[in-house]
Amino acid sequence: MKRFFSIIMIALFLAGIFPCASAMAGDFSLSVSPNPINASAGQTVTLTATVKNNGSGELSGFSIVCEGTECYSSGATVAPGGTVTANFNFTVTASMISAGSVSFRLESGGGTIATDTVMFQQAQPKLVVTESYPDPKTTALLNVNDVIQITFTLQNQGDIKIDNISVKASGVNGGKPFSPSGFSLSPGAKKTVYSSFTFKSKITIKPVVTFSVNGSIQTMDLAPITMDKAIADVEAKLSVNNAKPQAGEEVIFTLNITNNGNITYTKVSASWNGENWPLPTSTLSPGQTITKTYKRAFEISEDVQLTVTLTKQQGPVSIHTNTVKILLPIDQQDLKQNISFVIKADRTKMTSGGTVNFTGYVANNSYYDLSGVSVSDPSVGEVLSVAKIPAGSRETISAQATVEKTATFNFVLTASDREGQQYTFEAEPITVTVIDDSFGTPEPSVPLETAAAETATITPKSSGPLLIWIIAAIVLTVLIIIVGVALIVLWRSGGSSTKGSSSKSLRPSRPAVKSSPRSKPAVRSVLSKQKSGGYRDRNRF
């Protein structure tokens, strides 16, 4: 009886244990994530393990085992519904990579309660190279002697370090590596290399990148870059269906813009006098022609020349179309009223023959060009001769003439319009007066008020023997007057002294007369004249 009871108790005990263990195995989960998932043999990666308790009982302590080796252990308690995360390093072996998968077990109490599998892949290098010049296309258009700098940006987008990186290109830097060279890039890192050269002629550059991964040298050929000479050859032509319309009549212009070069242009536009003439497209590719028609009406004659603006790689450029002349019928009256013809002389009065300078201008203020322009005077001759004076322009006049006697100058302008109609314009007559100056009238003459206030010495001009005799007569007359006045003065002074004194008082005065050297000749002259005239000398008895 006792033996039977013992067997029952053991059976019940075993029955209670095994159901419990079975429940524990289904109540926990394990998730393992490697970083990175791609690895090389011998590479250490980081594993993140997540343990979750999905049951009703606590989990006290656990360990993670991989290929019979414990990778991680923890004495932490995981409550029902709780989660524990663990990070630990793990070294990947070649067999793991070749097998394609690695199994991990979650163990507790000596038994396995959860598992997970990780797929490791062989780490691969991934070197991405981007060129930044001359442009994303395969052909660059340059000018001779342009200094070109080619740059490459290299980035390691793989999972493994890349070493001994070098970039070379035929025809650049003598085939030497770009700077810098021989550098390394860790996963995610990037670096820029560059090299410069002077462009001379068309060239195709073939860049090559060399590098090593785990000691293995690899080569990467980049896309070739062809550089050619830029040919900028754009032609813009403008035509019109009627170049001689009536005022207000509508005409049709046709504009053709042709790209004969190898450059693609953008932002193409056309304008005239600030007015935009719209185009159907703003891009002009090699070999392409843009055509557009426009309707316009005119009230006056105009020269129409469009400006075409285009943008290339180096910036905007401008070209001009041919000029189309819109010629309205000529209003002859309007033309005549808008021609200014002026000539002046630097002096119009002279005292003798000399040179006169003429200056002036012909101003064409009309809307019409003048051709065959000539200005002349019958005595001076032609002083201006030009083939054309455009509308809104002017020509200056400068001439000289020698004038010996009073003369009148009549300058005449002749010109023709585009239809051959001739016009004649007369300037105001210019009279130059020559004043006869035989008597030495000074030039310019002094006003009477000035002459009365000042004493001026005038030197007469020589006019022959007659002038000399006149001057001599004037001088002789003046001398006679002076001598006569002196004699009268002396005579009166001698008479008054005799009446006022006796003969005795006269005698002592004779020495006084002798002592006056200036009065003695005058006295003698008077006495001699008195004797010759019959007068008595009262000083001698």
Q: How far apart are CA 488 and CA 498, in angstroms?
A: 16
Q: What is the CATH number of domain 127-229?
A: 2.60.40.3880
The architecture (CATH level 2) of 234-326 comes to: Sandwich (2.60)
Give the total residue count for the chain: 541
pLDDT computed for residue 448 by the predictor: 33
Q: For residue 392, give the 3-state DSSP assignment.
A: coil
How many helices and strands, by DSSP H and E, does the chain display?
8, 38
Q: How far apart are CA 34 and CA 539, in angstroms?
A: 170
Looking at domain 24-122, its CATH superfamily turns out to be Immunoglobulins (2.60.40.10)
Per-residue model confidence as pLDDT tens digits over 3-23: 555 555 554 444 444 434 433
The architecture (CATH level 2) of 332-434 comes to: Sandwich (2.60)
Q: How far apart are CA 129 and CA 103, in angstroms?
A: 38
Per-residue model confidence as pLDDT tens digits over 391-445: 999 999 999 999 999 999 999 999 999 889 999 999 999 999 998 655 444 444 4
175: left (phi over 0), alpha (psi -120 to 50) or beta: left
CA max distance for the chain: 232
Helix axes 465-499, 519-533, angle to 10 degrees: 90
> Which tokens go with 481?
């007057």
Task: Tell me the pLDDT of the chain (541 aa) as tens digits.
Answer: 455 555 555 544 444 444 344 335 568 999 998 887 777 777 788 989 999 999 888 988 899 998 778 889 988 889 998 999 989 898 888 788 777 788 899 998 888 989 999 887 777 778 888 877 654 444 567 778 888 888 889 999 887 889 999 998 887 877 788 888 889 998 889 999 988 888 888 888 889 999 998 888 999 898 888 888 888 899 999 999 999 999 999 999 999 999 999 989 999 999 999 999 999 999 999 999 999 999 999 988 889 999 999 998 778 999 999 999 998 899 899 999 999 999 999 999 999 889 999 999 999 999 889 999 999 999 999 999 999 999 999 999 999 999 999 999 999 999 999 889 999 999 999 999 998 655 444 444 434 333 333 333 333 344 455 777 788 889 889 889 998 888 888 877 765 444 444 333 333 343 333 333 433 333 333 333 333 344 333 333 3
Give the closest residue to 258 by CA, choosing from 293, 288, 279, 238: 288
Chain centroid to CA 103: 74
pLDDT computed for residue 40 by the predictor: 74
161: left (phi over 0), alpha (psi -120 to 50) or beta: beta
Amino acid, single-letter form, for residue 124 = Q
Q: How far apart are CA 96 and CA 106, in angstroms?
A: 19
> Which tokens go with 54?
């999905």
pLDDT computed for residue 6 by the predictor: 56
234-326 has the same fold as 24-122 = yes
DSSP 263: -
pLDDT computed for residue 305 by the predictor: 96
For the chain, the domains span 24-122, 127-229, 234-326, 332-434
pLDDT computed for residue 464 by the predictor: 52
Q: How far apart are CA 50 and CA 118, in angstroms?
A: 13
Predicted structure pTM score: 0.43
CB atoms within 10 A of CB 415: 24
